[in-house]
Chains A and B, each alone.
Chain A
Amino acid sequence: MSIRIENLTHIYNKGLSYETKALDDVSLTIEDKEFVGIIGHTGSGKSTLIQHINGILKPESGRIYINDTDITEKGVKLSDIRKRVGLVFQYPEYQLFEDTVEKDIAFGPLNMGLSPEEVDVRVHEAMELVGLDHEEFAGRSPFELSGGQKRRVAIAGVIAMKPEVLIMDEPTAGLDPKAHKDIVEMLVKLHRMTECNILLVSHNMEDVAEIVDKIIVMHRGKVFSQGSPAEIYKERDRLLDIGLEVPQAMLFMKKLEDRGIFVENNVMTMDEAVREIEKLLRKRT
């Protein structure tokens, strides 16, 4: 599905002394099947932005088109939109409520009015995708699982709805490095298998840079810059100016450059950095 956002503005606590403009005239386009990373500081408006895409927040002004239907118009069935746009909030494990993992994952599909058989198939699929063994976990209480496992149950609950767009708000926040890596790998696998749009929100570019097709940088409620990882790489000085966390490999290469050692390729990840440095060393000897 394609998503087009035009001049979106959102204001919290309008009319009060502490009103804040969370989104200020944001316009962007996301193509079908694209894997997009949205990065920015806390308070840059990224969470507010994604909550508009499935109609949970209403904009002050502006339009949102999903496959050319304007979801800000009156009379649009939001429940239909929410079936197609899945949203995994920050710390989604706090929304678990059923007594078994299986029932909790089935909550979304059941709300969609699917048959029990279809729901069962989807629960199996979703659990496999997030890497939870059905036999081992289906009957257990979600509250006795570890943090990383709870997180996967919550994500499976949204994946089971088979959304065409999957939005993830900081899915790796607060996890240990192993669980962190698992989730990132799961996202890549999910994108390859289902070909759905994935919007990955993060405050850390390191997570995003390696896996996405496109990066959108938010700053103070505006789109600061957008483009492919390589294009964003060229703007790293600007990113550093606004104090954004950029990949360590990128920082390292910049330091090399500052000392007059020039690297031609855009280096974003640790692997690329290693390769480039090896090349440089070989040239020298």
Chain B
Amino acid sequence: MIRDITLGQYYPGDSFIHRLDPRLKIIATLVYIVALFIMVDFTSYIFTISYMAAVIIISKVPLSFILRGMKPIILILACTFLINLFMIKGGDVLLDMGFLTVTEKGLRTAIFLATRLIMLLIVSSMLTFTTKPIMLTDGIESLLKPFKKIGVPAHELAMMMSIALRFIPTLLEETDKIMKAQLARGADFENGSIIKRAKGLIPILIPLFISAFRRADELAMAMEARCYKGGDNRTRLHSLKFTYRDLIATIATVIMVAALVIQRILM
């Protein structure tokens, strides 16, 4: 049940995308997100969608796995879609239901915005699907290095992130286990009023918090016992290198963005 959440998970693989430099993947994802917001019309979607499709196909992450991660945001998507659909006025009236009217501009904006949101989510989850958490944080740390001079604790931030990411699946598994145990004791999470259901969460949340604190404590002890000290002069097992693969990916991304910008200027 709860294991269906794929957001932030890693999908094991050895594709071209998996082997890219994490720094490049992070920057490309950020660039892509910005690109999503400079899109103007239908043609610009061709560029961004084909770029995204290419990434998905090359990475060999199954579409069903990606779509499963979309489930939690269906409600948010539906809300934005409906609000845009009814609130934005302009162009021909397509549907008139008295106090609610659907106009051409409203429909267009609603569809564009919804696709934009979906693409935003897919691309950012592609980053975690194809990048091992440890690589991801290595990448972030390396990207944050220049800011160290102005007091940004790059290494500590990266370490905190990697620990957080590392424990998402563990805590999910733990939640699943505790839920099952309380179900076996006759707990009911699905029926009753909202207040009753909220109260029903207590038997899950308390054990979960306790185990999270216990794990944090154990981890801190284990790190301490191995004389962990973050920061300067630490070397890495895998140092990041920019290869021909990264060059190809960079060129592809630059072409996509350039196409968008040129198209926007021409409009």
The interface residues of chain B lying within 8 Å CB-to-CB of A83 are 186
The interface residues of chain B lying within 8 Å CB-to-CB of A180 are none
Question: Which residue from chain A places its CB closest to the CB of B13 in the assembled complex?
Answer: A17
- Complex Cα spacing A157 to B12, Å: 40
The total number of A-B Cβ pairs within 8 Å is: 59
The interface residues of chain B lying within 8 Å CB-to-CB of A265 are none
- Complex Cα spacing A79 to B182, Å: 12
Q: Does B252 reach chain A (CB closer than 8 Å)?
A: no
Q: How many residues of A contact B (CB 8 A)?
A: 26
Q: Does B202 reach chain A (CB closer than 8 Å)?
A: yes
The interface residues of chain B lying within 8 Å CB-to-CB of A161 are 185-186
CB A228 to nearest CB in B, in angstroms, measures 29
Question: Which residue from chain B places its CB closest to the CB of A112 in the assembled complex?
Answer: B186
Interface string of A10-29 (1 = CB under 8 A from B): 00000111100000000000
* A18 with B202, Cβ < 8 A, contacts A92-B181, A158-B184 known: no
Interface string of B154-189 (1 = CB under 8 A from A): 000000000000000000000001101111111110
- Complex Cα spacing A157 to B207, Å: 15
Q: Are A82 and B183 within 8 A (Cβ)?
A: yes
Q: Are B64 and A94 within 8 A (Cβ)?
A: no
The interface residues of chain A lying within 8 Å CB-to-CB of B206 are 97
Q: Does B265 reach chain A (CB closer than 8 Å)?
A: no
Q: Does A86 reach chain B (CB closer than 8 Å)?
A: yes
**Residues on A facing B (Cβ under 8 Å):** 15-18, 51, 54, 56, 79, 82-83, 86-87, 89, 92, 94-97, 107-108, 111-112, 143, 157-158, 161
8 contacts between A and B (CB under 8 A): A15-B64, A16-B62, A79-B186, A79-B188, A95-B181, A95-B203, A97-B206, A157-B185
**Residues on B facing A (Cβ under 8 Å):** 12, 62, 64-65, 177-178, 180-188, 202-203, 206-207, 210-211
